[in-house]
Amino acid sequence: MAPKPPARTYRGTARNLAHLAARLRAGELVAVPTETVYGLAAHALDARACARIFRAKGRPSSDPLIVHLHSVRQLGLVCRPNAAALRLARAFWPGPLTLVLPKTAAVPAIVTAGRESVAVRVPRHPLFRRLLRLAGVPLAAPSANPFGYVSPTTAEHVRQGLGKKIPHILDGGPATIGLESTIVDLRDPSRPAVLRPGAITAEQIARVLGRRVTAPRRKTSAQGAQVAPGLLARHYSPRTPLQLHDKITAARRDRAPANEAFLLQRRPRGAKGQAHVFWLDATGALPGVARRLFAMLRRLDAEGFARIHAELAPNRGLGRAINDRLRRAAAR
């Protein structure tokens, strides 16, 4: 078999979007920008198209996909929404929130890994929204990275990881949020549960629903896959060993060998000329930390350090989602 040509990267012109929408309807894969991370999209109601996603990523077939819709009006096509779902949709869509609901027969089993539920979200990124509208069909899309590696937040990250395996990449600039969506299980609307923390916090969801929301269990193991498939303890991982710390002091940094990197939440005083000290946001603001986390893990991974020491975020709000990704990235 002849080797496939490498992926082509497209800018979001009207012509390119129309072309990519047609390719999606024909069953091809397109990597797409979203406000959270880049996704690898396929026609969600076409089982053969979705099978290509699993092959390209090396993703186990037990790990279900998220179905992206252009509008809340398409919900009934893929799932049976309840009143709680509609409330959250009104409050947070388009945006970084995914709802798990009972599926309809239109959704192929491969999308949901054989489950009776489906994960759905209406994304906010303007180019992805235009593509969804032009395609006119729901698009299944997991993060566009080889299974287990750090999620991509730029088109270039997608090209580095999957450029030899997929035909098309739509470049929509760097992701503005930088962490995957919050996933809420609403199969039983009287017991909403956050399965994966994200930019929309459990507190925000509880406020809109007017009831308590179960937070994710800290350790999700291979057995935990029963409740939250795909949420493995080890995920989003750089190849370089990663060690986490509540706080990294100047003294700690000074004692370390030069081949160990330090990733701080904020710019420290007097770190000038220290080539092994990095930070995620000048002032430690959590949105900036979230936005840059995955790109920084990739960069440090590429620089060949023997070890990365990373500082945890404060464990509140968006900090919980940041720490969740750091813990999974550090798990061995």
Q: Give dist(CA 41, CA 55) in Å, integer.
A: 13
d(Cα 327, Cα 329) in Å, to the nearest integer?
5
Asked if 201 contacts 193 with a C-beta cutoff of 8 angstroms, the reply is: no
63 binding partner (options ligand TXA, Mg ion, none; Cβ < 5 to 8 Å by kind): ligand TXA
Residue from the set 42, 44, 99, 118 that interacts with ligand TXA by CB under 6 A: 118
Positions in 57-86 near ligand TXA (CB under 6 A): 63-66
Q: What values do phi and psi take at 26, rounded to 5?
A: -80, 0
- Footprint on residues 136-155 left by ligand TXA (CB under 6 A): 141-143
Cβ 153 to ligand TXA shortest distance, Å: 11
Q: Which residue is closest to ligand TXA by CB?
A: 230
Nearer to Mg ion, 112 or 265 (CB): 112
SS3 245: strand
Nearer to ligand TXA, 54 or 262 (CB): 54
When asked if residue 53 is in the footprint of ligand TXA (CB under 6 A), the reply is no
Q: Which of 23, 115, 129, 267 binds ligand TXA (CB under 6 A)?
A: 115
Report the residue closest to Mg ion, judged by CB.
Answer: 143
Written as six digits, the tokens of 220 are 């999700």
Binding flag, residue 195, ligand TXA (CB under 6 A): yes
Burial class (CB in 10 A: 0-12, 13-18, 19+), 265: buried
Q: Give the H or E element holding residue 112.
A: helix 109-112
Phi, psi of 104 (to 5 degrees): -95, 170
Residue placing its CB nearer to ligand TXA in the complex, 150 or 296:
150
- Distance, CA of 259 to CA of 7 (rounded, Å): 34
Helices (H) and strands (E) in the chain, counts: 11, 14
Minimum gap (Å) between residue 327 Cβ and ligand TXA: 16
The DSSP output letter for 293 is H
Q: Is 1 helix (H, G, I), strand (E, B) or coil?
A: coil
Residue 329 binding result from Mg ion, ligand TXA, none, given CB thresholds of 5 to 8 Å by partner type: none
Rule CB under 6 A: is residue 98 a binding residue for ligand TXA? yes
Task: Report what 120 binds from ligand TXA, Mg ion, none; CB cut-off 5-8 Å by kind.
Answer: none
Shortest distance, CB of residue 15 to ligand TXA, whole angstroms?
24
First-to-final CA distance of the chain: 37
**Interacting residues toward ligand TXA by CB under 6 A:** 34, 36-37, 39, 63-66, 96, 98, 100, 112, 115, 117-119, 121, 141-143, 180-181, 183, 195, 228-231
